[in-house]
Structure 1
């Protein structure tokens, strides 16, 4: 019998690991999955941030636990994956969101900063996805992987924005999503990406300061920046059976910025 739309979006009984989940976009995604019924494992580097965010989710009636880990370090990534599986039994939904940015002109961009951004923003995504898939998804022939990319991965920037490493890493995330989704479809694992536009967050403080919120909002056909609700619907679509026939795809959530010629 065909399920109702409410049943298709229901995540009751599912488990989700969200990296970079203690604040900003990651916390918004974790809250969306929790509100849809999933049990949440939050992770980021700082325990105090995780405690605060977990308390916020618990107050909203969401089942949540947390593990502090640095997703730029392979040992931390594998430890996070193993401990999450140990505590939760399995991981149904993985949200790769932990990330870093670095602003510097390409001609003067420190190589060590390039490596830091690429290591966290794409290498970490691969290691965690591989580990979770091998130990929790492939044998069960079931899984949802959601990668947080960016509209920065779709092209270049205005001259005043000098984030070449960040743009490159997010472009890599988009094609990583395509390639992995194609390869792991045989295991019934879907892999999709969310490409946020400009949202007020610690990651975008420099950009917001350099260009101004009003100027950035003016670039969007909808005339505003993203808010604390704008990623929730797409996240739950990708994570739930409502999106079970969607894989190897990306979608921009940017108020239309990426569709504007020259935007």
Structure 2
């Protein structure tokens, strides 16, 4: 390992650094430094997120952030880090269950419209109306006609909500097939997490190529100028969380904004999985 700088030595000798050495037998200095650097970085970004939320509240802004991606891509973990220190009265996380019989008889977008933010609020969607673009057709949860109608309407729907004053951010967390398989195994072997492993998850690896086909159609049709997709490479969870927060902070014109904290994120035009 390279010689340690004063800053690195300070991190390693901090309470958090020493605690990691005590609780994790055999952990390397490199890993401890990586963990501590991540914690310092995300804390600074979370402070900026508080400033963003205050700006939203004070200026009656409305923000919607969509988190999409394959199962186990890390969407939920990213949302938890983003919202960890925000005022819970000023945002909500939406993760809708399977539609009820009544909802199945409604216009598809209706259940999502009911969850859009009022003035001064932020809504984070842990999966969104894009279920119908990928998850539903792959798993035969919708008909071909329902899929075609959705694809015909989604861009107009997004245009309407944007014109109504909503700032829409669409994030796609991209992981490889190998990474998804490893995360599924970790979930299944964890007694407090294995409940998360659903029948849809069970079929995800077998249907990988079909997911890819529908995902590519989704990007081709819905990556519009007013509502583009931003691809987050998510094989490394910590890096994905940092990149997602940086992007949100970058594209929302909140004030005051500390530009020195935010590293501008380039929008990926293609996905890696």
Q: If the TM-score is normalised by the length of the shorter chain, which range does it land in?
A: 0.3 to 0.5
- Structure with higher Rg: it is 2
Q: More relative contact order in 1 or in 2 (CA 8 Å, sep 6+)?
A: 2
